[in-house]
Amino acid sequence: MQPSRDIARLIEIMAALRTPGSGCPWDLEQDFASIAPYTIEEAYEVADAIARGDMLDLKDELGDLLLQVVFHARMAQEEGAFAFPDVVEAITAKLIRRHPHVFGEARDLSPAQVKLLWQQIKAQEKADKAIARLAAGLPHRPEDKGVLAGVTQALPALTRAWKLQARASTVGFDWNDARLVLDKIREETAEIDEALASGDKAAIAEEIGDLLFVVANLARHVDADPEGCLQAANAKFERRFKSIEQALEAQGRTATEATLEEMEALWQAVKRAEKAGS
């Protein structure tokens, strides 16, 4: 079997890997649950390639992500649920349905009008999906009802916090000023201080969670992605700590041989150098 630019070849390869007797033992023992973590990981690797501006890696990572789609579709086909063409049909139908200003008669809309139309279409889709589940004999999902419906549990916690609060804001449950969110952050840090004084680990963890939740909301109020903010902070920490290690290496030492005071002094020197160079 030869490589190909045709999606049909990828589907054939996946089918071969999942064929009992002649397929791959590892692929054959997988199911939706076991593959799901790989799907999430591949999505993150796509995002990483984009962040690095590495188009060669991006091509490969997009292929890995596409494989995940084909893998799930093949397992669904084996169960008689749906196949890859059904996935393609579903997403093309959704794109056409959600863009009547491109593919339909709703022309010359402003960005605000497009956003409103998008929300109306999604609300109708949710209602139609509930009817379809009922017709298929599938159980009702309580999480499909209400303002917060559809914010998936699988999202990173900071992103999910951002989305939950964005949804709540659509019905007016929100602060109208970022400074008020900052006041809430101060309130939460005070509560952490109280929890620390009590020594109650469960209470401390709960208050830290509250703080992170409000920090995500502050990011939303200033149009910043909290997950992206934390990723940038992680990268900054790694860069600065590596600079400390390099400075110590130049002295013939390692971080384990340095005192906290020495490393803090080097940290501050790195910060000053970065500011001077910016």
Domain-embedded: residue 116: yes
**Quick one: pLDDT at residue 95?**
93
User: Are 54 and 1 part of one and the same domain?
Assistant: yes
Domain-embedded: residue 84: yes
User: Are 80 and 17 part of one and the same domain?
Assistant: yes
**Quick one: pLDDT at residue 1?**
67
**Quick one: pLDDT at residue 180?**
96
pTM reported for the whole predicted model: 0.66
- Residue 144 pLDDT level (bands cut at 50, 70, 90): low
pLDDT in tens, 82-111: 999 999 999 999 999 999 888 988 888 888
pLDDT in tens, 207-242: 999 999 999 999 999 999 999 899 899 999 999 999
Structurally, how many domains does the chain consist of?
Answer: 4
Mean pLDDT of 193-210: 97
CATH of the domain at 195: 1.10.287.1080
Mean pLDDT of 61-80: 97
Phi and psi, residue 38, nearest 5°: -70, -35
Range of the domain at 32: 1-98
Domain-embedded: residue 48: yes
CA distance 31 to 95: 29
User: Are 63 and 111 part of one and the same domain?
Assistant: no
User: Are 237 and 195 part of one and the same domain?
Assistant: no
CA distance 73 to 67: 10
pLDDT in tens, 109-143: 888 888 888 888 988 888 888 888 888 888 766 55
Task: Indicate whether 68 pLDDT > 70.
Answer: yes
Domain-embedded: residue 152: no
User: Are 220 and 232 part of one and the same domain?
Assistant: no
